[in-house]
């Protein structure tokens, strides 16, 4: 009733009541009813489930919560960040309401399709109320409109600023002839609260109203203090993230009968070509390494021997030949070893491959690789030589059928065309192939063609 008496409809009701009663009504006697709400509060609790994030991922690890029980959220507000086997994903809210339950703690495992949080959402479009002093105001929904100058105030550009607050706070400001644009907000996303106005009018002590977390500057992370342990103890650590993905993929890999083949490549000419092109590539914003040459050479060899760019369908006893050359590249990141892939290498030049590789490496260092960066890989290369070592025995990533690992490039003596001793830069390479579909001759022939392009980089110009 009190709410209606303040609205435009309330003015009409005042006149009707006065005419019916035949005498003026003292409406001030019912002002104490202003806090009584005659509307039915129809709220319901909705379980917000973890939706499918693709790539067949069925479970994730909760890395960080952005909300807590009691917080009010709106649609598309960030709820939490989760880490799958392949990438980090931020989960956002699909409802407006209040968080009433959180199902998982940090580092807990959350299953796809199971609840993450419970949200108390209003029905029939009712907006959830916040625990602010103005919750008993004339309207429970906030307004954001163009600020009109208060009585006695001079209209300026500052007075036309948009102010986020409630009708009760606007009425309080109008009664005190206060320009709300001069009040420092402490509510969520810059909302002016009743306490902000009272503090501005010096009716309550300064600092009584604490700013909402959305207005606070993020604190710099504290540097942990290292305390050395006197006695070492055994500990048990649950596999998560990249390590858990490695457990699954390598278990599947060891079911494949591996065929190994190794060779040496003279990288002397390629090193000279790369040195000549490095500065020009850098001017175009691309860091040119040896890996783009190795990737492009592999794509050329895959065109000649497409069986290595296939996958095995065991159930139907058939081979699926892949049209795209999506070459996976092993990368060492702060999160562990990841293997994203460069898409459609058969359609790209060396500079384009280098640019795509730079982007993947940058996202990998930031931990922002996307699920699509790992999808649909057809062939793999690993440059273990940047760490050390020469020959290795790489494991095939199912459902692929082949993988190559380049070792460290060494300076060794070799015989020249006139039997003279010359300095050569020799790199070793180790191949593994699925012996169920690839025989030794095919693997050796592929390696020889790949080697031919690297030892004679001018061949890239003929294609």
pLDDT, position 17: 57
Q: What are phi and psi of 410, to 5 degrees?
A: -115, 150
Percent of the chain scoring above 90 in pLDDT: 39
Res. 203: pLDDT tops 50: yes
| Strand pairing report for 162-165 and 143-146 | antiparallel
pLDDT, position 16: 59
The residues pairing with 258 across neighbouring beta strands, listed in sequence order, are 434
Closest among 98, 103, 87, 85 to 49, alpha carbons compared: 103
CA angle at 71 for the pair 70 and 74, rounded to the nearest 5°: 135
> What does pTM read for this prediction?
0.54
71 classed as catalytic? no
435 classed as catalytic? yes
| Catalytic option among 107, 108, 145, 439 | 439
Q: How far is CA 198 from the centre of its chain?
A: 42
Res. 26: pLDDT tops 60: no
For residues 449 and 455, is the Cβ–Cβ distance under 8 A?
A: no
| pLDDT tier for residue 39 given thresholds of 50, 70 and 90 | very low
Domains and CATH numbers, the chain: 44-121 (2.40.50.100), 167-211 (4.10.320.10), 242-461 (3.30.559.10)
Res. 260: pLDDT tops 60: yes
pLDDT, position 235: 81
The number of helix segments (H) and strand segments (E) in the chain equals 9, 20
pLDDT, position 310: 96
pLDDT mean across residues, the chain = 81
| Catalytic option among 234, 393, 435, 463 | 435
Asked if the bond preceding 65 is cis, omega within 30° of 0, the reply is: no
pLDDT digits (tens, 9 = 90+) for 44-97: 788 888 887 766 678 888 889 999 999 998 888 889 988 887 778 888 888 888
The 3-state secondary structure of 97-149, one letter per residue: EEEEEECCCCCCEEECCCEEEEEEEECCCCCCCCCCHHHHCCCCCCEEEECCC
Distance CA 179, CA 154 (A): 10
pLDDT digits (tens, 9 = 90+) for 119-160: 998 764 444 444 443 443 334 334 444 444 444 444 444 444
For residues 65 and 78, is the Cβ–Cβ distance under 8 A?
A: no
Cα 376 to Cα 328, 343, 344, 373, distances in angstroms:
9, 9, 11, 9
The residues pairing with 73 across neighbouring beta strands, listed in sequence order, are 97
pLDDT, position 21: 56
């Amino acid at each position: 009733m009190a709410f209606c008496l303040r609205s435009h409809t309330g003015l009409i009701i005042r006149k009707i009541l006065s005419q019916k009663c035949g005498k003026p009504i003292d409406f001030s006697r019912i002002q104490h009813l202003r806090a009584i709400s005659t509307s039915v509060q129809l709220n319901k609790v909705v379980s917000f489930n973890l939706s499918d994030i693709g790539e067949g991922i069925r479970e994730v690890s909760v890395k960080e919560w952005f909300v807590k029980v009691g917080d009010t959220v709106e649609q598309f507000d960030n709820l939490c960040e989760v880490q799958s086997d392949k990438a980090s994903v931020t989960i956002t809210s699909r409802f407006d309401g209040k968080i009433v339950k959180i199902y998982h703690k940090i580092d807990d495992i959350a299953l796809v399709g199971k609840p993450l949080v419970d949200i108390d959402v209003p029905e029939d479009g009712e907006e959830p109320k916040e625990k602010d002093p103005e919750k008993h105001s004339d309207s429970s929904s906030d307004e954001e409109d163009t600020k009109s100058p208060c009585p006695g105030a001079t209209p300026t550009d500052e007075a036309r600023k948009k102010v986020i607050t409630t009708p009760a706070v606007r009425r309080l400001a109008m009664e005190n002839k206060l320009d709300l644009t001069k009040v420092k907000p402490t509510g969520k996303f810059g909302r002016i609260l009743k306490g902000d106005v009272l503090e501005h009018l010096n009716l309550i002590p300064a600092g009584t109203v604490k700013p909402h977390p959305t207005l606070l500057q993020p604190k710099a992370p504290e540097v942990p203090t290292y305390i050395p342990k006197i006695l070492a103890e055994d500990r048990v650590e649950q596999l998560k993230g990249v390590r858990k993905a490695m457990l699954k993929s390598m278990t599947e890999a060891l079911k494949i009968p591996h065929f190994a083949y190794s060779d040496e490549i003279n990288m002397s000419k390629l090193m000279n070509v790369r040195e000549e092109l490095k500065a020009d590539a850098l001017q175009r914003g691309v860091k040119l390494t040896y890996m783009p040459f190795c990737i492009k050479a592999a794509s050329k060899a895959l065109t000649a021997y497409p069986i290595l760019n296939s996958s095995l369908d065991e159930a139907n006893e058939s081979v699926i030949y892949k049209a795209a050359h999506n070459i996976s590249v092993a990368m060492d990141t702060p999160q562990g070893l990841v293997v994203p892939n460069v898409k459609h290498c058969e359609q790209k030049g060396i500079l384009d491959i280098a640019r795509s590789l730079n982007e993947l490496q940058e996202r990998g260092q930031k931990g922002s690789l996307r699920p699509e960066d790992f999808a649909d890989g057809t062939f793999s290369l690993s440059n273990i030589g940047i760490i050390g070592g020469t020959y290795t025995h790489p494991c095939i990533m199912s459902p692929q059928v082949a993988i190559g690992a380049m070792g460290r490039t060494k300076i060794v003596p070799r015989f020249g065309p006139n039997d003279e001793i010359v300095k050569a830069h020799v790199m070793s390479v180790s191949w593994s192939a699925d012996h169920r579909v690839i025989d030794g001759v095919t693997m050796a022939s592929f390696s020889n063609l790949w080697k031919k392009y690297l030892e004679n980089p001018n061949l890239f110009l003929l294609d």
